[in-house]
Structure 1
Amino acid sequence: MTPRRKKRLWITLALLIGVSTTIGLVLYALNQNMDLFYTPTEIVQGKPDGSKPEVGQRLRIGGMVVEGSVKRDQESLLIQFDVADVGPAVTVTYEGILPDLFREGQGIVAQGVLVDSRTVKASEVLAKHDEEYMPPEIAEAMEKNHQPLEYTEEQKQGSQL
């Protein structure tokens, strides 16, 4: 092998190692910033594939705010409420001002960190737009894993008033 070919080989190897390292670091950074979506039932019981979120993991949770579960701290902006789909409820704590559309019985998506097996400390809470709207992620997850929530005729008439 001539010295010129040897030099080209080393340059090619160095470029391949550099590109591989760069791709590896980018994939690692993207994996660290990924927020997975869970329903309350999936947080408590795990997903169908057996995966369950770990304490300290960043995630997004979506579901309906349970009636009568909203508790506000009189001294601060700390709010605690339960979110459920068709299974067990998960408690969400949030410090800040909630969206104007937030209320009991409405669908929400909260982004935060899993504090323990049934508690999420939210950094952001998003509320749904109107009575008929359900975030696509919640509707898809509920359709895939559970029976969809359906309004009774009384609930439909009550929401139209």
Structure 2
Amino acid sequence: MNIIVYPDPVLRQKAKPLTEINKEVYQKVEEMMELMCQANGVGLAAPQVGWSVRLFIIDVNDSRCEDKVFINPTIIEETGELSKEEGCLSLPGIMSKVIRAQRIKARAYNLKGQKIEIEAEGLAARAWQHEIDHLNGCLFIDKISPANHLSISQQLKEFERSYSDIKASV
């Protein structure tokens, strides 16, 4: 399992709901946790590892417990607005300001299949919104201003060239 990098088409697909929690799900979640930790990330969505299901992990305070795994999540309330610099494990080295809700209320299922409701603010709220975007085929670069997009356009073109080169050699 590896982190998929832009512009791989899987990053633009809407993920399907996860309908069963089994041994394979636990194994993939464990691998995702390890990948996220190795990359010093705070979140990782299943599509970012080529697994197109509605699941993500978030760890904003280094605790590795299963309530960091969210299955079939939905945001039910957003309040406030905050512009902060954001990055993405699928776009390594690219950072840009993104406007997101400051606080969220959300629902999901945990690895035990229990419905949970969370309230988050700050980095946790930002991470939730970022990861749900991944489940919907949206990247943070889709939410930045035209000026910020222009400032990273060369880096994006380089990712696109590298991806084309890899595909051509396969």
TM-score by length of 1: 0.25
Higher share of residues assigned helix: 2
The structure that has the greater radius of gyration is: 1
TM-score by length of 2: 0.24
